[in-house]
Amino acid sequence: MKPDTKTAMESLIKEAREKIPFNLSFDGHCEGRCDECPEKLLEFLDIDLSDWESRLKRGDLPSIGDVHSLGRQCKEIYVILQERELLKEPLVVGGKGEA
């Protein structure tokens, strides 16, 4: 049985907090492009995760689209961090590696 959207969002947030290194040091990594700046992307993602944590505590229920969008955002940022060689380990979602 699939989890409800609240449980799915809580699991996604927990996994993101565990696997995405929000404490990376970015001294000297600025390439002048803010749209793909790892530091800014991590800041925005942290804000989005914190927002959903607060909303869930207040009793808000996410839609399946909300869960999908946040999951996609997490994956995209993780891939950018890998492309910039800030992460070495492959992305693993639900116990399976991504190709």
pLDDT in tens, 35-49: 678 888 999 999 999
pTM: 0.81
In terms of residue numbers, what domain contains 69? 35-87
pLDDT in tens, 47-84: 999 999 999 999 999 999 999 999 999 999 999 888 88
Looking at residue 98, its pLDDT comes to: 45
**How many structural domains comprise the chain?**
1
In a domain, 70, yes or no: yes
* DSSP secondary structure, 26-81, as one string: -TT---S-GGG-HHHHHHHHHHHHHHHHHHHHTT----HHHHHHHHHHHHHHHHHH
In a domain, 42, yes or no: yes
Measure the CA–CA gap between 86 and 68, rounded to whole angstroms. 25
Phi-psi region of 98 (alpha: psi -120 to 50; beta: other; left: phi over 0): beta
In a domain, 12, yes or no: no
